[in-house]
Amino acid sequence: MNTIFLVRHAENLANLTKEFSYRKVDYALTPKGVLQARQTAEFFRGQGLDHLYCSPLRRARQTAEIIGAAVGLQPVEIEAFREVNVGDLEGVPPTQDVWEAHDQVIAAWKAGQLDVSMPGGENYHSVWARFQDGLRQMCAGKTGQRMAVVGHGGMFSFCLQDLCPDVDALALRRGPNQNCSISEIRLAECNGRVRAELVSWCRLEHLSGPAAQFVLGFTTPQDFDASGRLIR
């Protein structure tokens, strides 16, 4: 069994613009995001990490590099940890119609309609398969290790119920998965299907001051004007 910390990346520009970012849109950290990553790095100084991994997206890679510099580890990118592929919703203005199309798919997933796909993107089965593949790559040939992966709130939150079937994932997901939140799991693999024990979910006490002033990673109807454009 291995201990794994699931770390959501620090704040980047897409968190502010409400754009979807899977591949074409790939922003760097904001100044606040750099501060969040530095405070997260201080948390990991005392955790005895053996390995550090990350999504290839810039916001995750930069967060991991800051953590790695503090703990003496070079982050290893794993393609499987890339954020959910939203397909046609990426690279377009984040209008109310775009967000409603996204939210309809998420509602379908929560209702158990896992074959429903993002427009031109992937369905839940694909996300879950990728996530399992990434965890297997991390843990191949390892036991009793302490590892961290810097990735994305969407993937971590959506896959929680299948990863940790003994927890009430819907209850946990009622609170937003903020930038640089840290979740801890103990991972085992049973009959080829990844399973984990949840130790803690979305801890934020390592962040303080401006780093603990979060922006929402989703929209509400109040975020749009009468024409459906995002209010800046």
Task: Confirm if 118 and 89 have CB atoms less than 8 A apart.
Answer: yes
For residue 231, is it within any domain? no
| Average of per-residue pLDDT values in the chain | 90
Kindly give, in sequence order, each residue whose CB lies less than 8 Å from that of residue 151, ignoring residues fewer than 6 positions away: 6, 7, 8, 9, 54, 55, 60, 81, 83
For residue 216, is it within any domain? yes
pTM attached to this predicted model: 0.92
Percent of the residues in the chain that have a pLDDT greater than 70, as a whole number:
90
Identify residue 101 by its one-letter amino acid code.
A
What pLDDT digit, counting tens, does each position of 96-126 carry?
999 999 999 999 998 999 999 999 999 999 9
pLDDT (0 to 100) of residue 230:
45
DSSP 8-state assignment for residue 205 = T
pLDDT (0 to 100) of residue 166:
86
Distance CA 116, CA 91 (A): 21
| Mean pLDDT of the 143-168 span | 92
Return the CATH number at 199.
Answer: 3.40.50.1240
pLDDT (0 to 100) of residue 222:
52
Task: Confirm if 48 and 97 have CB atoms less than 8 A apart.
Answer: no
For residue 229, is it within any domain? no
Task: Confirm if 160 and 174 have CB atoms less than 8 A apart.
Answer: no
For residue 232, is it within any domain? no
What total number of domains does the chain contain? 1
Domain that holds residue 183: 2-223
Token pair in block for residue 82: 């890339």
Please check the confidence at residue 220 and state whether its pLDDT lies above 80.
Answer: no
Q: What is the DSSP string of 98-144?
A: HHHHHHHHHHHHHTT-TT-B-TTS-BHHHHHHHHHHHHHHHHTT--S
> CA 101: distance to chain centroid?
20
For residue 228, is it within any domain? no
Distance CA 155, CA 180 (A): 14
Distances, alpha carbon 145 to alpha carbons 52, 102, 138, 205, in Å: 11, 37, 10, 24
For residue 6, is it within any domain? yes
pLDDT (0 to 100) of residue 229:
55
For residue 200, is it within any domain? yes
Distance CA 77, CA 124 (A): 22
For residue 148, is it within any domain? yes
pLDDT (0 to 100) of residue 22:
87
